């Protein structure tokens, strides 16, 4: 029950973030709902397809879809009258990222895959929805440009989860520790505006828009 | 037999629409064929992956692929000599949308999933090919921007299909009624230029390209 | 053993090409690694999902992921001090394309699907990673614009493979012949700058950004 309530909260937070992002692209009402759904269930869907887990989580439990749609509609109404509470949403989003990431890690771990695949699935569950949102908005995904320690927090938390699973601990310990790492890193990145260095390759004799390996 | 003929017609219409869209992006000949294939089989492919239906429809029946490729090549030749019949294509496309949407609804319904998932699968089958086409052309998908009641028609038709399935009717009735709803709404939207309202969030103190929940 | 070594070499080449492409988009360090992973394992992943082959190749053998990550990190370090060897990379990339394409063809052939699906899976395995790289960079995929006989070489090689499979030959012959076709065509295209004709549809009375079949 607690698990479901947390999952639904995570879905709602992601849907709200998706709806707000869509609002900055002047989409129509349905487009906003579609982006909200894609943002909130995209990561878990790709994880389930890759791990061959069927039925996919939102097909098995339609509550996820309904929460995502309701959160998107609520956002549409809310921003008509009020300013979105940006600080609160950033914090809620950090918790949403932690919940998604560690739930992805746990599902992958239980599927018996290697540690590195567990981390990969955790990151996919945590951030792929946002990637999908940005691709649908025809933008380079935020997490690739300067993610402000977004996917990095997911990687660190999932790695902590995997490492702690090697010890004989109560099963909730690795999950809680992993979530704490994600939330901690993410909030620290927001407060101190931390970023990974940008990698730029402009002065090496390649011009225009031609690409290595394609032409 | 009739089913296959209708399906092939739907695939051909989608492939033509994809090829024409590609023609406006100055792609090379192969690029046009790839876009045509993606537009015509993308929706059904995602539906089959999500519902774990294997082999995927165009792997089971290669006729779909061949029809899509043939329609794309035909379009390439046709537009070299003639102006595409735009009105006719819009009408054909409305029927293609109806066919795809309701065939997706029927397949999902027979898989025994919930009503809301049936509608979701119907919409995916009907419109995801077009989304893929636009993403490959590095554009915000048409249906999200101002879809002119495109996905909305699919949602309405699929919902009609699901509701009518609750009654003890001949199995063709919900399918035909669903298709009639899609075609009717879509043609009405074309004739009267109907659109969903656009949702825009520009004046709430967010600037530039930064995004909620990511930084 | 030889097979794995070749596969790993192909993954490394694709990851390097992905990392270099990412370097031209000013992504952060993690973004570069993500693009490198997507470029190198994207094609095989889509092939495995479509053919329902589980576990997906990089879940079954985590070496692929590790090679991709290592190659991306190596590239990040290398270009800090040296100019990338562009000619060598183009040649390596041609071999990578051949390896991926023909390994995709062989896997699809062994899954017992039709010849046209074998070619499709071969092309997906060979080029979808690069498509994913470009979509994540919010660009129209290179192979659709003017691919310099890139996907075309994959189609030709895979078709050669399928045709030769009809004869009673040693199983290595179709594979080697297919790879030779891919490498030969690709290198010829690089040397003589060959391209497919571009298909453009601008003068047929369509204006602005409206699209056939969507409005």
Q: Which residue of A has its CA nearest to B197?
A: A28
Partners of residue C31 in chain B, C-beta under 8 Å: none
Q: Cβ distance C33 to C69 under 8 Å?
A: yes
Residue C13's nearest CA partner among C119, C125, C89, C121 is: C89
Per-residue model confidence as pLDDT tens digits over C184-194: 999 998 888 87
pLDDT tens per residue across span A64-84:
999 999 999 999 888 888 888
Distances (CA, A) of C56 to B50, B53, C10, C15, C60: 16, 17, 17, 18, 6
Question: Are B213 and A55 inside 8 Å of each other by CB?
Answer: no
The interface pTM score, or ipTM, of the predicted complex is: 0.86
Instruction: Write out chain C residues lying below 8 Å of B66, CB-based.
Output: 116
pLDDT at C41: 95
Residue A2's pLDDT is what?
66
Q: Is B51 helix (H, G, I), strand (E, B) or coil?
A: coil
Yes or no, beta carbons of C151 and B34 under 8 Å apart: yes
* Interchain CB distance below 8 Å, C27 and A206: no
What is the least distance, in Å, from the CA of C166 to any CA of chain A? 32
Q: Which residues contact A17 (CB under 8 A, 6 or more apart)?
A: A39, A89, A93, A96, A130, A133, B212, B213, B214
Residue A208 predicted with pLDDT over 80 = no
Tell me phi and psi for residue C28, to 5 degrees.
-85, 175
Sign of torsion over alpha carbons C3, C6, C10, C15: positive
Q: Which chains touch B (3 or more CB pairs under 8 A)?
A: A, C
In contact, A131 and A141? CB cutoff 8 Å: yes
Check CB contact of B28 with chain A, cutoff 8 Å.
no
Task: Give the pLDDT confidence of A179-205 residue by residue, as tens digits.
Answer: 999 999 999 988 888 777 777 765 444
Helices marked H in B114-171: 115-136, 142-146, 151-164
Tell me which chain A residue has its CA closest to the CA of residue B208.
Answer: A24
Task: Quote the pLDDT of residue A51.
Answer: 96
Q: pLDDT truncated to tens, each residue of chain C (215 aa)? A: 567 788 898 899 899 988 888 877 778 888 889 999 999 999 999 999 999 999 999 999 999 999 999 999 999 888 888 888 878 888 888 898 999 999 999 999 999 999 999 999 999 999 999 899 999 988 888 888 776 788 899 999 999 999 999 898 888 899 999 999 999 999 998 888 877 777 776 544 444 344 444 33
B215 close to A (CB below 8 A): yes
Q: Is the pLDDT confidence value at A111 over 80?
A: yes
Q: Give phi and psi for C103, each to the nearest 5.
A: -70, -35
Q: B51 in contact with A at a CB cutoff of 8 Å?
A: yes
What is the pLDDT confidence band of residue B212, given thresholds at 50, 70 and 90? very low
Tens-digit pLDDT profile for residues B27-60: 888 888 999 999 999 999 999 999 999 999 999 9
Task: Find the angle CA(B57)-CA(B59)-CA(B62) to the nearest 5 degrees.
Answer: 95
Compute the nearest-CA separation of C84 from chain A (Å): 8
Please report residues of B whose CB lies closer than 8 A to that of A76. 199
**Nearest-CA distance from A142 to chain C in Å?**
9
Q: Which residues pair with B28 in a beta bridge?
A: C198
Give the pLDDT band of residue B214 (cuts 50, 70, 90). very low
Quick count: other Cβ atoms within 10 Å of Cβ A172? 8
Q: Which of B147, B123, B137, B151 has the alpha carbon at shortest distance from B21?
A: B137
Q: In this structure, which long-range contacts are made by residues A48-51, counting pairs with CB atoms below 8 Å and at least 24 apart in sequence? A: A49/B49, A49/B50, A49/C49, A50/A121, A50/A124, A50/C45, A50/C49, A50/C56, A50/C59, A51/A107, A51/A108, A51/A111, A51/A113, A51/A121, A51/C55, A51/C59
Distance in angstroms (rounded) separating the CA atoms of residues A27 and A72: 13
All residues of chain A having their beta carbon less than 8 Å from the beta carbon of residue C187 are: none
Task: With H, G, I as helix, E, B as strand and everything else as coil, classify residue C51.
Answer: coil
pLDDT at B2: 67
Q: Do C140 and B25 touch (CB under 8 A)?
A: yes
Q: Measured between CB atoms, does B146 come within 8 Å of chain A? A: yes
Chains that touch A (3 or more CB pairs under 8 A): B, C
Give contacts of C146 with chain B, Cβ < 8 Å. Answer: 28
pLDDT value for B207: 40
Out of C21, C76, C136, closest to residue A211 by CB: C21
Residue with tokens 């790839």: B34
- Identify all chain B residues contacting A148, using CB atoms and an 8 Å cutoff: 214-215
- C-alpha span between C117 and C110 (Å, rounded): 12
The answer to whether C194 faces chain A, any CB pair under 8 Å, is no
**What pairing do the DSSP bridges indicate for beta strands A27-28 and B27-28?**
unpaired
């Amino acid at each position: 029950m607690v698990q479901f309530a947390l999952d639904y909260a995570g879905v709602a937070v992601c849907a709200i973030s998706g709806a707000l992002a869509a609002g900055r692209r002047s989409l129509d009402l349905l487009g906003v709902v579609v982006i909200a759904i894609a943002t909130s269930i995209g990561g878990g869907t790709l994880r389930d397809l890759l791990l061959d887990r069927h039925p996919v989580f939102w097909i098995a439990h339609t509550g996820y879809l309904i929460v995502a749609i309701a959160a998107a509609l609520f956002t549409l109404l809310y921003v008509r009258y009020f300013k979105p509470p940006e600080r609160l949403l950033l914090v809620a989003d950090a918790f949403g990222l932690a919940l998604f990431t560690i739930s992805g890690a746990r599902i992958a771990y239980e599927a018996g895959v290697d540690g590195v695949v567990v981390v990969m699935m955790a990151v996919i569950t945590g951030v792929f929805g946002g990637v999908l949102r940005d691709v649908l908005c025809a933008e380079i995904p935020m997490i690739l440009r300067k993610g402000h320690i977004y996917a990095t927090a997911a990687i660190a938390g999932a790695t902590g989860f995997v490492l702690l699973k090697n010890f004989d601990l109560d099963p909730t310990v690795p999950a809680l520790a992993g979530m704490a790492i994600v939330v901690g890193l993410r909030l620290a990145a927001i407060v101190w505006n931390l970023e990974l260095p940008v990698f730029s390759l402009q002065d090496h004799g390649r011009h225009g828009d031609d690409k290595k390996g394609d032409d």
